[in-house]
Structure 1
Amino acid sequence: MADSESWRANLCKALIHERRLMGEALGFELVENANFDILIELYLARMERRQVFVWSLCAAANAPYSTAYRKITQLVAAGLILRHDDTNDRRRVEVELTSRGVTVLDNLIRKLAGTRGSPMRLPGGTN
């Protein structure tokens, strides 16, 4: 993993941890943001080169399974993620970011990094 990719992965892990802390403190139903949780999990998985399946993504969303599944469907419709059957086990459905989803998350992470004093620079030399 390259330095900038490592920094992005660490930021994603910190964001996931912060979301979990907020959920534990206030209750996940009060701080629900399943779309963000799903996208950050998929972005991190892409950097870590690991597969993500619907059932594990639903758990990462910190929401009831039906809600998380509905959010996955919305993100597919928005063109940010895609689902496809696992070629090794047809019972599993893999989920990953589309190229558009990667671009959106790259831009978001760069902007979030700028708010945290990251060494990552935004285009144009500003943070």
Structure 2
Amino acid sequence: MKNESVVELIKDLTAKLSAVAEEFNGRVAQAAEPVPVGDEPSDDALIEHATLVLAERRMRRKFLPAELFHEPAWDMLLALFASRDDRMPMNIKALVSMSDAPVTTSQRWIEHLHKLKLIDRVIDPTDRRRIEVSLSHVGDQAMKSYLRALLTR
């Protein structure tokens, strides 16, 4: 009886992973469709794609161990790019929550991203305890170039 339960559990998990793989392959095929020459994706399309990539990254953690996908800096860059449509910088606390990493690890990555000139940090003029973070011009251009390359390959 116990072995039958394990076998059924494995079959169920296999079916779910297969469904996720099919969905992923469908999205990859759709994203891989070439964009006609001369048609550059709009900023809205790039933001939408960054949001989709971020959501797909989070979805993986529902099915597989989170430590397999530990890239807090990348998650932060995607989140900052996706939030640029809001025209509001993120504070450190919100950015840390997007990275799914411990606070100290996230803060080290924020410092490193700042040293690489990919993000800007500004003290909130209304609450000097808050630090606002946004993509720098260099970071924004790098993310646009990367996302554009993904959509036009």
Q: Same fold (TM over 0.5)?
A: yes
In structure 2, runs of 5+ residues without a counterpart are 1-40
Query: What 5-or-longer segments of structure 1 have no aligned partner?
Result: 115-126
TM-score by length of 2: 0.69
Q: Does 1:75 align with 2:113?
A: yes
Give the AA of the match of 1:12: A
- Flag the structure with larger Rg: 2
In 1, the alpha carbon distance for the partners of 2:98 and 2:151 equals 22
Q: 1:106 aligns with which of 136, 141, 144?
A: 144
How far apart are the structure 1 equivalents of 2:113 and 2:84? 16
The RMSD of aligned alpha carbons is 1.4
Query: Is residue 24 from structure 1 mapped to residue 62 from structure 2 by the alignment?
Result: yes
Q: How does 1:80-95 map to 2 (within 5 A)?
A: 80-95=118-133
TM-score (norm. length: structure 1): 0.83
Task: Give structure 1 regions of 4+ aligned residues with deviation exceeding 6 angstroms.
Answer: none
TM-fit CA distance, 1:47: 2.5
Q: Counterpart of 1:61? A: 99
Corresponding residue pairs, total: 113
Percent identical among aligned pairs is: 29
* Higher RCO structure (Cα 8 Å, ≥6 apart): 2
- One-letter amino acid matched to 1:63: A
1:48 Cα deviation after fit: 2.5
